[in-house]
Copies of this chain bind each other. A is one copy, B any other.
Amino acid sequence: MEKTYRSIVKWGDKHEEILEEGVKALVKEKFGYTDDDFQPNYLRGDEEVILPDSKLPEAVVDSLIKICGKENVDISAYGRALHSYGYFYTDLLNLRKGNIATPPAAVVSPRTEEEIEEIVHLCNRKKIAITPVGGRSSVTRGVETPHGGISLDLSKHFNKVLEVNETNLTVTVQPGISGPELEKHLNSFGQGYTCGHFPQSFEYSCVGGWVAARGAGQESTYYGKIDNLVLSLKIIAPAGVIETKTFPASAEGWDLMRTFIGSEGALGVITRVVLKIKPNREEQAAYASFIMKDFESATKCMRQIMQSETGYPALFRISDPDETATAFKIKGFDNSKEDKILKVLGYKPGKRCLMFISLKGDADRNQLMKKKIKKIAKKNGGFSTGKKPVVEWLGQRYSSSYLRDPLMDIGIMTDTVETAVMWDQLVPLWKAVRRYLFQRDKIHVMTHISHVYENGANLYFTFLSPMKKGKEMEDYLQLHKGLIDSIHQNGGSLSHHHGIGRALAPWMEEEIGKTGMGMMQAVKDFLDPKGIMNPGNTLGLH
């Protein structure tokens, strides 16, 4: 493999760098690109990675090698570069520009809990930073190493399933196991099970990251966020070990385990996770999709379904008018016979919205829910478009992130920002954020709802815009700041499932208050008194 910056930017090998014709047409239409502009030659990062040597003292490297073995302590330039960033837009921009200001001094891949404990003790004694990582798919600057130190890679060895309990419906895993490895194990174990957690990053992310960043899967509306899937945790912190017990529920003071769900590596290393699982009833699933007349009626319909007390869909999405129009354009649906019929029926481009639903669990319940959902959708002016669009969407469910690389290659900035909001503030927030974004010349914005609750839902904004060449970073940061401000001022949470990392840290104190920040810092100071765990502003902590 070439040891270039580009090779670090890229999502694995399985994803094509080619832009579909539909996307090209969109870029032409929205940004005035011509055929000549599609050469993938912008900030390619084709240069070989060059880094100064590791600053880790030789004695420390020797100690680490003694703990983990030579093959598990990597101080090579490329290994360290690979662990310098996650997959936030600015990370990719920096890599493409060959900017790696603060690489880790070593990448260490422990094999056992005992090794992790020894590493934590060693680093605590020597005041060396530790940043625990798995899939490094953070989009919040959560896995950077501003203080250098070691990147503790749990994905290489610390990735085993320790137990599947078919009576309790639980799986016990090490945190470095990836989504596909976990699901493969569960699907083929005994009667067949699933964890039901399918984040967009599924193919690359690990259980430890899901927990640390408080993630959500695409079917979280039924299975729950990771918060609701974790039953117990073990954490190795500089101050000691915390191992919560596995109970279905409890009232033993406040729930200490919850402190580590969303701790983003700043408190300790998660070394064991007990997750809920469910029988794999994939073959009993049902699907439905609708075209709704507008975003308002679509969200009202969604809310009524969630509040109907018939159960929750698994996948439950609404694409707003612009995302719907984009999908229609890319799929070549515009001006088809069906499109003409839809228009005649009053489902107008620029207003109409797609709604996708999958139903998991018991087959009979799914059928009942489908019937109820159809009734509610119809009452809200929805037009049923059947199973096919959902199944097609599921077939490419993880792929949209992979568009980022070829778009950046042609000088297009693209990012996603997400929030959660109560129902009564959802449409106003959506409008306010769009208003803000459309102040920019040449921008394409698509929004969907994809995680739904009785009390509200998330909003997920995707935007594309030509980069300001030469000022790519400042331009992005300015746009991003206003975008988060707009969410924050209009009743949205700073994040529904990406986490805070360093990207959103500046908003934390205003969000949770001075006393809230103090409380977080007090917990950190107790567990990590020397501040070695993922230090440098993670979550706004010092």
Distance in angstroms between the alpha carbons of A520 and B523 in the assembled complex:
8
Given A368-B368, A454-B276, A252:B424 Cβ within 8 A: no
Between A and B, 10 residue pairs with Cβ closer than 8 Å are A215-B251, A216-B251, A240-B514, A251-B496, A253-B500, A259-B259, A259-B519, A310-B365, A364-B368, A522-B526
Copies of this chain present in the complex amount to 2
Is A241 in contact with B515, judged by CB distance below 8 angstroms?
A: yes
Given A424-B167, A525-B522, A254:B247 Cβ within 8 A: no
Contacts of A237 in B (CB 8 A): 515
The answer, among B261, B455, B515, for a CB contact under 8 Å with A168, is: B455
Distance in angstroms between the alpha carbons of A239 and B239 in the assembled complex:
24
Contact with B along A503-542 (1 / 0, CB 8 A): 0000010011111101110110111000000000001100
The answer, among B262, B421, B454, B519, for a CB contact under 8 Å with A252, is: B262
Contacts of A170 in B (CB 8 A): 422, 455
Q: Which residue of B is nearest A264, CB measured?
A: B253
Contact with B along A246-290 (1 / 0, CB 8 A): 111111111110111111100000000000101101000000000
Contacts of A525 in B (CB 8 A): 522
Q: Which residue of B is nearest A284, CB measured?
A: B309
Answer whether residue A141 sits at the interface, using C-beta atoms and an 8 A cutoff. no
Answer whether residue A494 sits at the interface, using C-beta atoms and an 8 A cutoff. yes
Distance in angstroms between the alpha carbons of A91 and B242 in the assembled complex:
34
Answer whether residue A352 sits at the interface, using C-beta atoms and an 8 A cutoff. no
Distance in angstroms between the alpha carbons of A333 and B308 in the assembled complex:
40
Distance in angstroms between the alpha carbons of A52 and B468 in the assembled complex:
79
The answer, among B240, B303, B492, for a CB contact under 8 Å with A167, is: B303
Number of residues in A with C-beta < 8 Å to the partner? 94
Answer whether residue A76 sits at the interface, using C-beta atoms and an 8 A cutoff. no
Contacts of A167 in B (CB 8 A): 303, 422-424
Shortest distance between the CB of A357 and any CB in chain B (Å): 16
Answer whether residue A227 sits at the interface, using C-beta atoms and an 8 A cutoff. yes
Is A310 in contact with B362, judged by CB distance below 8 angstroms?
A: yes
- Which of A259, A263, A540 gathers most chain B CB within 10 Å? A259
Is A248 in contact with B310, judged by CB distance below 8 angstroms?
A: no
Contacts of A281 in B (CB 8 A): 309
Contacts of A146 in B (CB 8 A): none
Q: Which residue of B is nearest A281, CB measured?
A: B309
Distance in angstroms between the alpha carbons of A247 and B369 in the assembled complex:
26
Is A364 in contact with B310, judged by CB distance below 8 angstroms?
A: yes
Answer whether residue A451 sits at the interface, using C-beta atoms and an 8 A cutoff. yes
Shortest distance between the CB of A241 and any CB in chain B (Å): 6
Contacts of A451 in B (CB 8 A): 249
Is A497 in contact with B251, judged by CB distance below 8 angstroms?
A: yes
Distance in angstroms between the alpha carbons of A151 and B213 in the assembled complex:
40
Distance in angstroms between the alpha carbons of A214 and B246 in the assembled complex:
17
Answer whether residue A318 sits at the interface, using C-beta atoms and an 8 A cutoff. no
The answer, among B276, B307, B457, B500, for a CB contact under 8 Å with A279, is: B307
Is A458 in contact with B249, judged by CB distance below 8 angstroms?
A: yes
Is A309 in contact with B278, judged by CB distance below 8 angstroms?
A: yes
- Which of A252, A308, A453, A511 gathers most chain B CB within 10 Å? A252
Contacts of A227 in B (CB 8 A): 249, 255
Distance in angstroms between the alpha carbons of A512 and B262 in the assembled complex:
20
Contacts of A258 in B (CB 8 A): 254-255, 258-259
Contacts of A278 in B (CB 8 A): 307, 309, 454
Shortest distance between the CB of A168 and any CB in chain B (Å): 5
The answer, among B260, B493, B523, for a CB contact under 8 Å with A523, is: B523
